[in-house]
Structure 1
Amino acid sequence: MSRAGVWLTVASGLAFASSGPLAKSVLAAEWSPGAVLAVRLTGAAAVMLVLAASAEPDGLRGSVRHLRTIGAFGVIAVAGVQATFLLSLEYFQVGVSLMIQFLAPIAVIGWDWAVRGRRPSNATLLGAIVALAGAALVIDVLGAGGLSLPGLGWAALSMLCNAAFFLLSARTSDSLRPVVLLGTGLTVAAVTSWLLGALTVLPFHIGSATAAMGERRLPAWAALALLILLSTVVAYLCGVAGAARIGATLMSLILLSEVLFAVALSWLLLGEAVTPVQMFGAVLVIGGIALARYGADQRVTRRTQPAPAAR
């Protein structure tokens, strides 16, 4: 196992985790979710296209052969994930929204079973049940007034879009390299965000020039620059580099650290803290998804092992 790959993936999780506090600080300055989304995706697309043109110029030119995959990736797996996540932040704390979003691997397992007929192993099913039980504790379904139906709806949509991200990311090939998919996909996502704003689905409204991060104040442009460069460009690049070294399965498990990073950063920067019950639920979510992934990986390993030779 590559130690560099592990650290790159941990760095990716930390960078992704910063998106919640940074975005919420700008939203608190009365910026609309549509404005935050459009600025973030446009800036990230510009940076990533330059990187893709420098690293894979031939792949970028050949990406026209994959317009369907790139379009779905940009609209659903990037713009869809980010838009619904931002909308859920108006009702939930950062850590709660992110923990619901991280149920995406369970949705992928359900898709494989229902659509592709791939029945999960017993370990995978047990992991899914544990993760869903943890999610129930995270959203506090038993607590008085703890359940926000609009917030739950947006967070659930973000989870489904994130599941699409996993499914579409697996469709890269020699002619569609990951950095090319990210560059072109982010461009499609940026265009989608502006269209949503023009159609008033996600109204575009620029608020104060000063963002509020708990008791602290910082320029809104600085928070947006960090959201573009750290939470998007660095996060995706470290994730791609990490996956190349340790594989997608191990990467997806290590990226569960994003939930813990997000909770810690939200507490440090925004003063948000989850209850002990929600923290226990977070442990169940992470443990359940890890068990589900382990069960799926073991089944693939057994299926690919050669049959014993006849004597």
Structure 2
Amino acid sequence: MSRAALGVWLTVASGLAFAASGPLVKAVLGAGWSAGAVLAARLTGAAAVMLLLAAFADPRGLWAGRRELRTVVPFGAVGVAGVQASFFLSLATLQVAVTLMIQFLAPVVVIAWHWVVGRRRPSTGTLAGAAVTLAGAALVVQVFGAGSPDPVGLAWAGLSMIGNAVFFLLSERSTARLSPVALLGSGLTVAALTTWLLIGIGALPLVVGAGTALMDHRELPVPLALTLLVLVSTVLAYLCGVAGAARLGATLMSLVLLSEVLFAVGLSWLLLGEAVTPLQLVGSVLVVAGLAVANRAAEPVIAVPLGGIEPDEEGR
């Protein structure tokens, strides 16, 4: 299997694992848990698991992570904790569809960053794939059926989108110096500390609810839901995502990760009994088509020499 193909499969696995968090979080929130409590449990548990894995798998890399604070701190604080916290805060005044669609504009931010700042012109295939995929995502999350957006909610959703773009860009660059397990062990620790800081200053509420949740009228122990949220939808999801970014580059990885939209729709139908509309099915086809177009592009971006410095073999 080629490096690019492995990167695609890793990123698709990451999208599936992330998508599973939707039904799990929805069930726990329905049991009376606050967004801050769920986020704190998720990131604190994931940080503990990743630190343990890193201590056994790459102790030198974990130590190196302490010296890469310029990468680890923004990765954890912005790319992980900031994305999730701002997403929850945006839901206070925005419908989920609007927030999700704004988050899914992160690939456009990545492409614009490479084009404007890095002087790396996107290929025609990448631009076409981005346009088709985002159009499909808009249909899947039914953004056109949402109500008038609130400016404060839009601001939080915009911050979540920027945080997503930061995650993609830092994943692409930092894995050249740190292994995925070392990066995540350090980054998730920063994310957990950031979450507790937000709780401490009152930006996120901390309310622990009941011990049993409901998932489509079926009882689900909250400890089990939180364990799956930590191990599958956080640890596994971020490991696959960072490893995929290292093989695909931030631009293509961010597009492939939009497969999360398809998985989220499917899992919501299977686990929560939420129906899939014909419009969502059309959007799903467009998402798959857009991913195929983007994946057929030989390179995620076309590098343009800047100041007489030639790009390397991978266009970086």
Q: TM-score, normalised by structure 1?
A: 0.82
Distance 1:167 1:285 in 2: 22
2:130 maps to 1:101: no
> Which residue is 2:44 aligned to?
42
Matching residue's letter, 2:221:
P
The SS at the match of 1:201 is coil
* 8 Å CA contact retained: 2:10, 2:244: yes
Query: 1:254 deviation in Å?
Result: 4.7
After TM superposition, what 4+ stretches of structure 1 lie above 6 angstroms from structure 2?
301-306
Matching residue's letter, 2:68:
H
2:236 pairs with one of 234, 237, 252: 234
Task: Give the stretch that moved more between structures: 202-211 or 178-187.
Answer: 202-211
2:257 pairs with one of 255, 258, 277: 255
Matching residue's letter, 1:56:
D
Query: 1:60 deviation in Å?
Result: 1.5
> Which residue is 1:309 aligned to?
none
Q: Deviations over 1:130-161 (max 9, x none)?
A: 34444554554544x54554665544432221
Give the unaligned 5+ runs of structure 2.
306-310
Query: 1:27 deviation in Å?
Result: 1.0
Please tell me the root mean square deviation across aligned C-alpha atoms, in Å: 3.3
Matching residue's letter, 2:209:
G
Q: In 2 relative to 1, CA 298–38 (structure 1 residues): closer, same or farther, beyond 3 Å?
A: closer
Query: 1:257 deviation in Å?
Result: 2.9
Distance 1:6 1:132 in 2: 18
The SS at the match of 1:170 is helix
2:160 pairs with one of 155, 158, 161: 158
The SS at the match of 2:214 is strand
Distance 2:206 2:282 in 1: 38
Distance 2:71 2:155 in 1: 26
Q: In 2 relative to 1, CA 235–130 (structure 1 residues): closer, same or farther, beyond 3 Å?
A: closer
Distance 2:102 2:260 in 1: 12
> Which residue is 1:60 aligned to?
62
Distance 2:180 2:198 in 1: 26
Query: 1:57 deviation in Å?
Result: 1.1
Distance 2:303 2:34 in 1: 47
Query: 1:251 deviation in Å?
Result: 5.4
2:84 maps to 1:82: yes
Q: In 2 relative to 1, CA 214–56 (structure 1 residues): closer, same or farther, beyond 3 Å?
A: same
Query: 1:291 deviation in Å?
Result: 3.7
Give the unaligned 5+ runs of structure 1.
307-311
Distance 1:274 1:177 in 2: 39
* 8 Å CA contact retained: 2:104, 2:134: no
Matching residue's letter, 1:236:
Y
Distance 1:237 1:21 in 2: 21
* 8 Å CA contact retained: 1:99, 1:285: no
State the number of aligned residues. Answer: 303
* 8 Å CA contact retained: 2:175, 2:183: no
Query: 1:266 deviation in Å?
Result: 0.9
Distance 1:99 1:256 in 2: 11
2:198 maps to 1:196: yes
